Structure 1
Amino acid sequence: MRLITRMLPALAALAFPAVAHASEDEQLWTTASATVKLSDHWRFSQEVVGRFSNDRDGLYEIEMNSLIGYRISKKVTVWAGYTHDPQYDGGDFTVMEHRGRQQVTFDNIVRIGPGQLSARLRLEQRWREGIDGTAWRLRPYVKYVLPFREGGKTALVLSHESFIDLNTTNFQRVEGEERMRNLIAITTPVAKNVNAEIGYLHQHGFRSDADDPNDNVASFSLSFNF
């Protein structure tokens, strides 16, 4: 992890302009996901994300997302499910977060040049054990996939996601845009029904009463489709 994360500040400087009064962290995110076609319309998706941080001395989050989707058309699917999200400090458990999740995905809705644009609108309700309040959050997301050659499956991926907090609680303290994520990555098939993606993600937080945090993230994921 250290060899990877030592390169991230240099990549960040090239990919994003310097931000005044900002703190920095180097991280590693690993993701494994599987989507199963249950019928012509129904889908099941399971995703597990492990997040590691230099500033937090290792593992700080394991996010597990379970979703059922109904395909309305070739390009539109509605989903609903649950997120189990234990959080850690240096690998030691700190708090359990539960989330309800609803989303609509729009696959390959617009062709821009040789690439395709997709989008997702996600709504979440968040609860933390031992802390009062329900935190509501909206997460709009767009992704552009550009194949390296016509008809090829190896492609450049560019994406943006904003986190917009719809209220405040004891653990959700920023009303409005709380953070954004920008990703540049390469995706390629590695086996039948298996894709790998590796890239760099920049996460910028917005704080009115403290320095804005910046996370430079090495991102690696495997996705299985059945």
Structure 2
Amino acid sequence: MTKRTSIIALALRILILTSVSLISIKADAGLKEDSGYWFNLRMQGELPVQNFYWDMDINPRWRNEGEHLDNLYLRPAVFYKPDSKTSLWLGHDTIASHPDGKSSYQENRWWQQFQYQFDPVQSITFTNRSRLEERTREGFQDTGHRLRQMFKASKAVTNYPALSYVMSDELFVNVEQTDWGAHGGLDQNRLFVGINWKVNKRCTLETGYLNQIVNKTTHNLENHVISTTVGFKF
């Protein structure tokens, strides 16, 4: 099997897994729907050590058609790039959540990540991202571990190389049950379709539709989200 065939086969397996996961989440319990907006400001730069970089995300998210703030993420990280395709990450999330009808709370996450960008296949670039999270919530004792697997594809628009079509899917799986409400097994899935614009060498803009299906203990939630990320490199 050639490398190109292996990449295509991997993409097909991920699409099949995603389809099965979405069907199982939707069929498992009653489904509620909501819509909202997510905005992510992402900054990145070099550290004074060769091949090491810093990364910072500020990510507010609104629910109820954008009327109420749902979450605010602060996500600093450092990563090491041994080559142009591979990166190893260590990061921390501080998340302030304001759920509808419940008290606000804070969650903290340490996470480790492996990312790899494959060689283009028929002008399509594929990226794999695998992340492990250690999650704690204020007022509780348990640490919850969660696996996140994302596969992303992008293709430059013909005659407009600064623009690219983008599609990604990310599957979330909880390793165990916690005293603050996480249940073991399938947690959620995020499917994104949009466009990326390389404004210049230091700035990118990516925007599109994100479909998030969350497997809750009492019901399932489907969010229809307009998601926008503005990135800067220093």
Both structures adopt the same fold (TM-score exceeding 0.5): yes
Equivalent residue letter for 1:137? R
Counterpart of 1:218 (choices 208, 222, 226) is: 226
Aligned length: 208
State the alpha-carbon separation in 1 of the partners of residues 227 and 37 from structure 2. Answer: 6
Alignment partner, residue 7 of structure 2: none
- Residues 66-114 of structure 1: CA deviation (Å, up to 9, x unaligned): 111111222111010211111114699710111101101112x142321
State the alpha-carbon separation in 2 of the partners of residues 48 and 82 from structure 1. Answer: 12
Alignment partner, residue 144 of structure 1: 153
Change (3 A) 1:186 1:52: same
Alignment partner, residue 87 of structure 2: 77
State the alpha-carbon separation in 2 of the partners of residues 91 and 223 from structure 1. Answer: 33
* Regions of 4+ moved over 6 Å: 90-93
State the alpha-carbon separation in 2 of the partners of residues 91 and 105 from structure 1. Answer: 38
Change (3 A) 1:89 1:210: closer
Alignment partner, residue 37 of structure 1: 46
Q: Any stretches of 5+ residues in structure 1 without a counterpart?
A: 1-15
Change (3 A) 1:91 1:52: farther
TM-score (structure 2 length as normaliser)? 0.82
Alignment partner, residue 95 of structure 1: 105
State the alpha-carbon separation in 2 of the partners of residues 56 and 95 from structure 1. Answer: 20
TM-score (structure 1 length as normaliser)? 0.84
Match of 1:152, SS? strand
Alignment partner of 1:111 is 2:120: yes
After TM superposition, give the deviation of residue 48 of structure 1 in Å: 0.9
State the alpha-carbon separation in 2 of the partners of residues 22 and 110 from structure 1. Answer: 39
After TM superposition, give the deviation of residue 43 of structure 1 in Å: 0.6
Quote the RMSD (CA, aligned, Å): 2.3
Equivalent residue letter for 1:95? Y
Match of 1:132, SS? coil
Equivalent residue letter for 1:80? L
Alignment partner of 1:187 is 2:196: yes
Match of 1:167, SS? coil
Equivalent residue letter for 2:170? E
Equivalent residue letter for 1:114? S
1:15-34 matches, within 5 Å, as: 19=26, 21-34=30-43
- Asked whether the 8 Å contact 2:157–2:163 carries over to 1, the reply is yes
Match of 2:180, SS? coil
Alignment partner, residue 11 of structure 1: none
Change (3 A) 1:164 1:90: closer
Alignment partner of 1:160 is 2:172: no
Q: Which structure has the highest strand share of the two?
A: 1
Equivalent residue letter for 1:116? T
After TM superposition, give the deviation of residue 173 of structure 1 in Å: 2.8
Match of 1:100, SS? strand
Q: Any stretches of 5+ residues in structure 2 without a counterpart?
A: 1-21
After TM superposition, give the deviation of residue 174 of structure 1 in Å: 2.2
Change (3 A) 1:77 1:147: same
- Asked whether the 8 Å contact 1:135–1:172 carries over to 2, the reply is no
Alignment partner, residue 72 of structure 2: 62
After TM superposition, give the deviation of residue 150 of structure 1 in Å: 6.1
State the alpha-carbon separation in 2 of the partners of residues 88 and 49 from structure 1. Answer: 14
- Residues 145-193 of structure 1: CA deviation (Å, up to 9, x unaligned): 1110268121010000011101110224321111000000111023441
Counterpart of 1:125 (choices 131, 134, 147) is: 134
State the alpha-carbon separation in 1 of the partners of residues 100 and 207 from structure 2. Answer: 25
After TM superposition, give the deviation of residue 195 of structure 1 in Å: 0.5
